[in-house]
């Protein structure tokens, strides 16, 4: 028997700590990202956890031959941190020795160490395990991590409890055909399209809950906006005064995220040239009024009275930005017939729901709203829709035995990330996208 002491000797320094070692020799590990040979020396770029570090190779002080090293090999570099005023970092990293831990079998089939990966989206995604090693590509998903960290920090502060709800479910919250089926020990089961039912149940338990987890949609859309699996940020809160509270909470949350990113992800923001939106007030406009406004301002006939066309979302963005400066807009009071059975109808107009979408830079990134919390009201709406309430008895349990007024929302993490970076395809902000054609890698 031996003992694991729970201690780890650090033999190498972190890239971010190099400045504390000026005048010293240090060891640092990473992958050789790029070798740039100059006339009588070379820049050797080392990819570390979060930063790419520039080392200087020179026959003068480097006790090895440049031909000994190769891109994408994993190494431990011994280097001298030499004070250098002309350098942005304040030092030069002079390579003294190198130990190679592993070599690639072959050079990468895609060039990954330029500023951008110069390849089609197909290639970019087919070679994901390699293309993500590109400094810019990986910054996208580091920033995405920042978004979730900022969200968690905010929601925790607002006393939300984080939950883990099942993804294999007995019925789809949204219903319909857009659902993946699986055989669950002889029973038919589905992959959850959202944690809707469960997060509502948990409002009865903790009042405020959230979950950041995968959701699955079997939609056959093949567009730049759709994924068949994505990461959904869901929150649900009880004791609301009106569905406006949910929009207020989201506005506060997004504002918090922007501050968090600026503080903690400066590097990635710079690398990606991300223009973070200023979130002051967010305009809210009724769906019907938005439709009319777009139609009038752009002299477009309304074709679909129940939903936006993607083009209309873009036009609305332009209009609102022009009028108010905001890159976000809440669209409220969607028609009842387009919203799920648990959506609460407006007291003023039964054909409208107390619901909203949030559009960001012309794309819907959030759907939310108030839910029905009274048992009889919920049963009545299900009956009106011709649904068999008995199939939903475990869902309706909470309504029957007491629920506060409540509501919540779901935010698509990949869509939000993509729009933050002004990308035109949601696949670009998805680590390993799943679409109607893509299941690999």
Pick out the residues of the known binding site for L-aspartate.
174, 217, 367, 371
Stretch that binds its own copies, among 34-42, 80-88, 153-161, 361-369 (CB under 8 A): 153-161
- Of 57 and 265, CB closest to its own copies: 265
Contact status: 297 vs its own copies (CB under 8 A): no
Stretch that binds its own copies, among 58-66, 77-85, 184-192, 361-369 (CB under 8 A): 184-192
- Of 83 and 431, CB closest to its own copies: 431
Report the candidate in 30, 25, 49 with the shortest Cα–Cα distance to residue 100.
30
| Nearest distance from C-beta of residue 380 to its own copies, angstroms | 13
- Of 84 and 248, CB closest to its own copies: 248
370 DSSP β-pair partners: 407
Contact status: 288 vs its own copies (CB under 8 A): no
Q: Is 412 exposed, middle or buried (0-12, 13-18, 19+ CB in 10 A)?
A: buried
Contact status: 102 vs its own copies (CB under 8 A): yes
State the binding string over 228-267 for its own copies (x if CB under 8 A, else -).
xx-x------xx----xx-xxx-xx--x------------
End-to-end Cα distance, the chain: 41
Stretch that binds its own copies, among 29-37, 55-63, 85-93, 347-355 (CB under 8 A): 29-37
Using CA atoms, how far residue 324 sits from 78, 317, 353, in Å, is 55, 10, 25
Q: What 3-state class would DSSP assign to 106?
A: coil
Q: From the CB of residue 200, how many other CB atoms can be counted at a distance below 10 Å?
A: 24
Among 177, 303, 350, 440, binds its own copies (CB under 8 A): 440
Written as six digits, the tokens of 258 are 């922007």
Q: Which of residues 407-426 bind its own copies (CB under 8 A)?
A: 413
Contact status: 23 vs its own copies (CB under 8 A): no
Q: Count CA atoms closer than 13 A to 227's CA, side-chain side.
A: 24
Among 46, 163, 269, 428, binds its own copies (CB under 8 A): 163
Length of the chain: 441
Among 27, 35, 61, 170, binds its own copies (CB under 8 A): 170
Written as six digits, the tokens of 414 are 């990949």
Contact status: 367 vs its own copies (CB under 8 A): no
Stretch that binds its own copies, among 56-64, 78-86, 114-122, 223-231 (CB under 8 A): 223-231
Contact status: 364 vs its own copies (CB under 8 A): no
Helix axes 135-157, 413-420, angle to 10 degrees: 120
- Of 60 and 177, CB closest to its own copies: 177
| Nearest distance from C-beta of residue 177 to its own copies, angstroms | 13
Contact status: 82 vs its own copies (CB under 8 A): no
Using CB under 8 A, count the residues that bind its own copies.
Answer: 125
* Binding-site residues from annotation for ATP: 217-219, 225-227, 364, 412-415
- Of 41 and 274, CB closest to its own copies: 274
Among 263, 289, 318, 424, binds its own copies (CB under 8 A): 289
Q: Which of residues 36-75 bind its own copies (CB under 8 A)?
A: 48-50, 72-74
H-run or E-run covering 314: helix 310-324
DSSP string, 180-232: -EEEETTEEEEE-S-SHHHHHHHHHHHSEEEEEEEEE------SSS--SEEEE
For the chain, the maximum distance between any two Cα atoms, rounded to a whole number of angstroms, is 84
User: CA-based Rg of the chain, rounded to a whole angstrom?
Assistant: 26
Q: What 3-state class would DSSP assign to 133?
A: coil
State the binding string over 309-328 for its own copies (x if CB under 8 A, else -).
--------------xx----
Q: DSSP label at 118?
A: -
Phi, psi (degrees; rounded to nearest 5) at 20: -85, 0
């Amino acid at each position: 028997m031996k003992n694991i002491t729970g201690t780890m000797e650090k033999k190498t320094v972190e890239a971010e700590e190099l400045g504390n070692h000026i005048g010293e020799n240090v060891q640092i590990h990473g992958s050789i990202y790029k070798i740039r040979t100059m006339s009588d020396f070379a820049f050797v770029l080392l990819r570390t956890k979060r930063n790419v570090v520039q080392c200087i190779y020179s026959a003068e002080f480097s006790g090895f031959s440049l031909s000994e090293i190769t891109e994408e090999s994993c190494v431990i570099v011994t280097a001298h941190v030499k004070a250098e005023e002309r350098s942005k970092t304040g030092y030069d990293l002079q390579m003294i020795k190198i130990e190679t831990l592993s070599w690639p079998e072959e050079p990468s089939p895609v060039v990954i160490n330029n500023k951008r990966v110069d390849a089609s989206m197909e290639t970019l995604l087919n070679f994901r395990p390699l293309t993500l090693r590109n400094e810019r590509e990986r910054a996208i998903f580091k920033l995405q991590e920042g978004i979730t960290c900022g969200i968690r920090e905010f929601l925790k502060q607002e006393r939300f409890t984080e939950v883990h709800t099942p993804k294999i479910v007995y019925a789809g919250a949204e219903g319909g055909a857009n659902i993946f089926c699986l055989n669950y020990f002889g029973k038919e089961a589905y992959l959850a399209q959202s944690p809707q039912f469960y997060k509502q149940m948990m409002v009865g338990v903790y009042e405020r809950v959230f979950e950041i987890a995968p959701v699955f949609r079997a939609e056959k859309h093949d567009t730049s906006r759709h994924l068949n699996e994505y990461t959904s940020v869901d929150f649900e809160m009880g004791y609301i005064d009106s569905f406006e509270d949910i929009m207020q909470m989201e506005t506060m949350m997004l504002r918090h995220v922007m501050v968090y990113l600026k503080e903690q992800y400066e590097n990635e923001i710079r690398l990606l040239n991300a223009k973070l939106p200023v979130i002051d007030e967010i305009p809210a406009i009724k769906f019907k009024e938005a439709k009319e406004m777009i139609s009038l301002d752009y002299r477009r006939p309304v074709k679909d009275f129940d939903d936006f066309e993607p083009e209309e979302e873009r036009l609305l963005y332009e209009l609102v930005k022009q009028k108010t400066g905001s890159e976000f807009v809440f669209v409220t009071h969607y028609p009842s017939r387009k919203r799920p059975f648990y959506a609460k109808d407006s007291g003023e107009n039964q054909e409208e729901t107390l619901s909203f979408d949030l559009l960001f830079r012309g794309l819907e990134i959030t759907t939310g709203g108030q839910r029905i919390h009274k048992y009889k009201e919920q049963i009545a709406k299900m009956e009106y829709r011709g649904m068999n309430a008995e199939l939903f008895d475990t869902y309706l349990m909470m309504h029957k035995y007491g629920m506060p007024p409540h509501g919540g929302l779901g935010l698509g993490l990949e869509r939000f990330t993509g729009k933050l970076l002004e990308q035109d395809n949601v696949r670009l902000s998805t680590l390993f996208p799943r679409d109607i054609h893509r299941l690999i890698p």
